[in-house]
Structure 1
Amino acid sequence: MIRRPLDPLRRLRLAALGLAALLLAAAAGCGSVGPGTPPEGAIGLLLPEVKTARYETTDRPTFVHVVEERCPGCEVYYANADQNAATQQQQAESMLARGADVLVLDAVDTSAAVSIVREARRHDVPVIAYDRFIADVDIDYYVSFDSELIGYLQGVSLVTAVEEAVRERGPRADGRPPGILLVHGSPTDPNAAALAAGVDRALEGEDIEVLAEYDTPDWSPDMATDWVESQVARFGDRIDGVYAANDGIAGGAIAAMKAAGFHPVPPVTGQDGELAAAQRIISGDQYMTVFKATTEQARTAAELAVRVLRGESPRTTATIQGVPSLLLAPRAVGVDDVERVLVDGGVHTAEEICTPYYAAACADTGLAREGS
């Protein structure tokens, strides 16, 4: 039987900080102090890549907005490394040279990011690890979600879906157990390892065979597509489900299976609550996603950065490897949860999800555009 903790949600620790906001945003993406506002300091925000939609559409604008409201005298230096660790190193060094007082760092490569933290320490600049934990170096705070719990939620959902499919279909004639593919995230991201640990815990004791697994470089949907294509050619209809670490990878896996003629596509997991994932869930192509309130994560990090800049010692809700941490709660989202979690929660509108291509699927699930 699957081993589950008595209460998986007890592992959630909700960040308890208030919301706040950032400084005037310049056209280049950096805040600038308004006329007549005494300068208070500068906060550097370093994000890792643009392939995952949330970073530019949610994390960055929310962070900047919160700092603007919370600290009108603060300036924000912003940079996205486009998945290049060397570029992120240069961006961080540039921010430190310009006088950044706090760095909020979502590392491209957490091993390479150790040198960024050490350089910040040399300048007496506090570092807040954002989204990805940076081990073996003295960071000041960590803001993220419980990644192992996310993986566990994904794994439990996949087990449930595969078991339902087997009950409907009946056992295989050859007696083999159902088979799944595991398409993990980037091997340089510790969150991917934590997700995998959660999935392994969910699969423990289950009569499900892991046919093959893959660490997806840079979380690349294209590379996920290529790998799944090769596994479809290898295993064919033995594939009863796919663990995809995030929604981008899920999209790549689904594209590969649809191109190979799978209809319907076996259950596929995801993570991030992206718009495209919501549409795939409504249409039946993707089984579930895990929604992380990245807006709240960015707000929490911005508020924390402002308070650290001002020399305060904010209260935290957890300790990870000795680092004061704020961990937010994820939520599993299936087809019955899209409206309640993603639409009613203000993440996506029904109009955004129910484009003409998805109108029939939306009608079938009871999710309709206004006026339709």
Structure 2
Amino acid sequence: MNARLRRVIVSTAGLALALSMTAACGKAGGDKKDSAASGDNKSIGLLLPENASSVRYESFDKPFIEAKVKSLCADCKVLYNNAEGSAAKQKQQFDTLIAQGVKVIVLDAFDATSTESWVKEAAAKGVKVVAYDRLATGPVAAYASFDNEKVGELQGQALLDALGPQAPDDNIVMINGDEADPNAAQFKAGAHKILDGKVKKVVYEQSGEWKPTVAGQKIGAAITQLGKDGFQGVYSANDGMAGAIITQLQGAGIKVPVGGQDAGLDAVQRIVNGDQAYTIYKAYKPLADSAAELAVDLLQGKDVKTVATTTVDSSTDKNIPAKLLDAKIVTKANIKDTVIADGLYKATDICTADYAAACTTAGLK
């Protein structure tokens, strides 16, 4: 074999060896990437809907979920984003989490009717979605919330109680939540179930869109249409809207029972002060804990039915494993036995200088 031929053979062999090593390295890198995409990461996505009409998400849901995940999985981390009232922004956040390799997402959808395609795409990539607080459309793996129709029933009953024995002669105004939110429809259905036939009439009913400014505008329109004496009570789907409604009523010189939902600190203070009749307390920690447990179980490949004790149906899917919790009516008479007893607030949180006298009257110290 001449020297030239030997050089060709050696060069060819060297090239082949280099190509095989490159392919091997590429395959090893690919395996590493595939392994990450297969779900061995320790990240759980958390997407919450807004922070304008309710302080609960930043103050309670987020820290409670983060703490529970940490207690169940010490090396897990929560990747959090808030949609700030934008379905489009939440979709971008959802897509980013999937691109980051997250295999479980806890989703409190700003617009639950728009999520079907998101959740389907996620499922196709092996990403599990836990619907949180409101039931997202699409093949979600599990759901944690309250029995929302029962919440509406509690709201309706609390308003009846606030109206008293003259309720059958009273007209009421209803300012409901966002029509795009399935929870709002359930609250509304539950409230009507209790109120219909037990008050004289619902004389004005509109959506406040979960926005205090909109709710204030709607109650203003009701006052213009019905007059100051045209209604004797107001159902508000949540506390944020109730606050705006009460402000408008006070400005017009109208004093009627108004109730809400969420047990926000400002709402509890309004109750102590006699401005708001009631709120609905949905204990955030048990809800957050349930969602965190479901998420960690899904991440670790465990059966969620140890947490999810029932099933629910959405408009797109059936028999979704679910954990549904109970809520409570909060009035001035039981603040101490509900939100204070559960540690949601201390008496000192509620009884600031502006409410000190009202707290003394209510027996809160």
TM-score range, shorter chain: 0.7 to 0.9
Q: Could you tell me which amino acid in structure 2 is paired with residue 161 of structure 1? A: A
Distance 1:305 1:139 in 2: 12
Give deviations 1:72-112, integer Å, cap 9, x for gaps. Answer: 22121111101111111110000000000101111011121
Give deviations 1:16-43, integer Å, cap 9, x for gaps. Answer: xxxxxxxxxxxxxxxxxxxxxxx75211
Coordinate RMSD, CA, aligned: 1.4
Give TM-score scaled by structure 1 length.
0.83
Distance 1:213 1:90 in 2: 34
Distance 2:118 2:59 in 1: 25
Q: Work out the number of aligned pairs and report it.
A: 317
Distance 1:305 1:46 in 2: 13
Distance 1:229 1:358 in 2: 27
Give deviations 1:270-303, integer Å, cap 9, x for gaps. Answer: 1111101110111111111110011211111111
**Is residue 95 from structure 1 mapped to residue 97 from structure 2 by the alignment?**
yes
Aligned-pair identity in percent equals: 40
Structure-2 residue corresponding to 1:232? 223
Give deviations 1:130-171, integer Å, cap 9, x for gaps. Answer: 011123x2111010001100100110111222234x38xxx9
- Aligned to 1:213, what secondary structure does the other structure show? strand
Distance 2:88 2:292 in 1: 25
After the TM superposition, which residues 121-200 of structure 1 pair with which residues of structure 2 at under 5 Å, given as runs? 121-135=123-137, 137-164=138-165, 166=166, 177-200=169-192
Structure-2 residue corresponding to 1:21? none
Give deviations 1:155-210, integer Å, cap 9, x for gaps. Answer: 0111222234x38xxx9xxxxx3111001011111000000000110013224211
Q: Could you tell me which amino acid in structure 2 is paired with residue 289 of structure 1? A: T
**Is residue 289 from structure 1 mapped to residue 261 from structure 2 by the alignment?**
no
Distance 2:194 2:57 in 1: 29
Structure-2 residue corresponding to 1:43? 44
Give the unaligned 5+ runs of structure 1: 1-38, 172-176
Distance 1:65 1:101 in 2: 19
- Aligned to 1:96, what secondary structure does the other structure show? helix
Distance 2:323 2:303 in 1: 13
Larger radius of gyration: 2
Conserved? CA contact 2:155–2:329, under 8 Å: yes
Structure-1 residue corresponding to 2:270? 280
Give TM-score scaled by structure 2 length.
0.84
Distance 1:50 1:207 in 2: 34
RCO higher in structure (CA 8 A, sep ≥6): 1
Structure-2 residue corresponding to 1:210? 202
Conserved? CA contact 1:130–1:301, under 8 Å: yes
Give the deviation of 1:258 after TM superposition: 0.5
Distance 2:124 2:93 in 1: 16
